[in-house]
Chains A and B, each alone.
Chain A
C-alpha cells in the first residue's frame, strides 16, 4: 500500500516535470522515445509494405533502386531549373547591389513516406523514414517533383514528421509570378465533400491565400509559388494554381482559393531540401 502511494506521487511529479520541461529537453525526450519505438515500427511497416509482397519486392529491388535514382535526378534537375529561373528574375536587381551573395544550391534528401498522420491525427502530417542522422532538421522544406508538400515539424534520429501544407496551421509566404503580388497561403483542412480514401487526407479543401493586394488582377489558373520570405521555404517552389478569388469583407485585400499542385494521397517519396 505504501509502495502504491510512492508510485502515485512519483507519477504525479513526473507529469509536472514533463509539463514544465524546457523546449530543448522536450525535443530530446521526444526524439529519444521516438527512436526507441522506431525499430518496432520498422518491423510492422516492413511486414505490411514489403513482407506481404516479398516475392515481387526481391525481384524488383534493382528496378526500385533505379527508379529512386531517377526520381532523385529529376528532382535535382527541376530544383536546378527553379533556381536558375529565380536567379534570372533577380539577376538584374541583384547585380546592382553590393555584397551580393551567390545562391547556394540546395541539397535534396530522398525520403520514403512510412506513415500518414501522426499518432493522434490532430494534424495532417507524413512520417518519413529519415531524420537527424541523415541531416534533416526542423523547418526544412519538403517537396516532390510537382511542388511543395510541407515542412519538417519534428525530427528524431531516423524519423521525421512533415506538417503538410494542407493543414490549417501551416502558413506559407507565397507570390503570384504573373502579377507579382504576395500573399499568405494556409491549408484549408479536410472537407466532408469529394473523394475520401482509406489513406486519409485525400479529400482536402483548396488552400486559402490571404492578404493579396486589392488591386491585383488575379485569374483562375494563375500559378502560386513560394516567395522565399520567412526563411523556411526557398523561393519559387510551386504551391498550386488559383481556382477562385474574392475580395475580403474589409475591402483591404483579396482572398484566393488555391488548388494544391501535389496530390497528398499519392505521395510515396518526397525530398527534403537541406539548408
Chain B
C-alpha cells in the first residue's frame, strides 16, 4: 500500500539530488545517477511491474530536468530494469556489493546507449574522448551512489512496512506488494 508513496518520495528526492549535486570535470561532468539507482533498487527488490513503473517515472523525471528528448531515459531505464529483474534471483540483492556492481554496470551501459541515441537524434556532438570519460564517470558515480540509495530507500521501505526487517527477508523472501 505504501509502495507508491515510497516510490514517489524516492524519485523526487533522487531527482532533486541529481539536479543540484555538482559534477566534476574529471568524471566527464556526469551527474550522480540517483534516479537510475532508484530503478536498480526496485529491479533487485520488487516485482517486474513495479520496476517498470519506477523506470518509466524516473526516466520522465530525468528527461524533464534535462535537455534529453522525452522518453529516451524511460526507454533505457526500462531496458536496464528488465535486464536486472531477469538475473536478480541469482544475486544477493541485499548486499552492498551487488548494489554497487549493478549501479556501476548499469550506469555505464546506460551512458553508452544514451550517447548513441543522442548522437543519432543530432542532439549531441559525439566525441570518443569525452564519451569514454563520461562512461567511466558514470560507472564510478553509480558505484558510489547506488549503495547509498539502497540504504535510504531500503530503510524507508522497512520503516513503513513495505518489506520485513533483514532477518525476516532471509526467511520469507521479498515482498511483492504494490
Q: Which residues of A contact B (CB under 8 A)?
A: 3-5, 7-8, 11-12, 14-15, 18-19, 21, 26, 29-34, 37, 40-41, 44-45, 48, 114-125, 127, 153-154, 161, 163, 168-169, 189-190, 192, 196-203
> Considering the chains assembled together, what is the distance between the CA atoms of A215 and B49 in angstroms?
64
B25 touches A200 (CB 8 A): yes
Could you tell me if B118 and A116 are in contact, using CB atoms closer than 8 angstroms?
no
Q: Which residue of A lies closest to B12 (CB)?
A: A40
- Contact between chains at B69 and A122 (CB < 8 Å): no
Shortest CB distance B7–A (Å): 13
Set A8, A37, A123, A189: member contacting B67, Cβ < 8 A: A123
Inside 8 A of A114's CB, which chain B residues have their CB?
20
Task: Tell me the bound Cα distance from A217 to B56 in angstroms.
Answer: 55
For B66, the chain A residues whose CB sits under 8 A away are 118-120, 122-123, 161
**Interchain nearest-CB distance for A190 vs B (Å):** 6
Q: Which of B15, B61, B75, B134 makes the CB contact (< 8 A) with A19?
A: B75
Consensus secondary structure, chain B interface: helix
With the chains together, A33 CA to B123 CA distance in Å?
A: 21
Q: Which of A19, A44, A189, A200 contacts B24 (CB 8 A)?
A: A200
Inter-chain contact A122/B68, CB cutoff 8 Å: yes
Tell me if A's interface is mostly helix, strand, loop or mixed.
mixed
Do B20 and A4 touch (CB < 8 A)? no
Q: Which residue of B lies closest to A32 (CB)?
A: B64
Q: Does B170 contact A (CB under 8 A)?
A: no
Cβ–Cβ contact A26 & B74, under 8 A = no
Nearest-neighbor residue (CB-CB) of B34 within chain A: A119
* A121 surroundings in chain B (CB, below 8 A): 23, 28-31, 134
User: Using a CB–CB distance below 8 Å, which chain B residues touch chain A?
Assistant: 12-13, 15-20, 22-26, 28-31, 35, 47-49, 52-53, 55-56, 60-75, 78, 114-115, 118, 123-125, 127, 129-130, 133-134, 178
CA distance A15 to B31 in the complex (A): 24
Interfacial chain A residues near B47, Cβ < 8 Å: 4
Contact in complex: A37, B60 (CB < 8 Å): no
**Which 4 A-B pairs give the minimum distances between C-beta atoms?**
A33-B64, A118-B66, A18-B71, A119-B65
Knowing A18-B60, A117-B29, A122-B118, the reply to whether A189 touches B23 (Cβ < 8 A) is no
- When distances are taken between beta carbons in the complex, the residues of chain A under 8 Å from B63 are 30
Compute how far the CA of A153 lies from the CA of B70 in the bound complex, rounded to whole angstroms. 15
Contacts of A202 in B (CB 8 A): 25
A-B contact pairs, 25 of them (CB 8 A): A4-B49, A11-B55, A11-B78, A12-B52, A15-B74, A19-B72, A33-B61, A33-B65, A34-B64, A37-B16, A40-B12, A44-B17, A44-B20, A115-B20, A119-B18, A119-B31, A122-B134, A153-B67, A154-B67, A161-B66, A168-B125, A192-B129, A192-B133, A198-B22, A200-B23
B123 pairs with A169, CB closer than 8 A: yes
Contact (Cβ within 8 A) A8 B52: yes
Given A119-B18, A121-B29, A121-B31, is A15 in contact with B71 using a C-beta cutoff of 8 Å?
Answer: yes
Contact B56 A15 (CB under 8 A): yes
A180–B143 CA distance with the chains assembled, in angstroms = 52
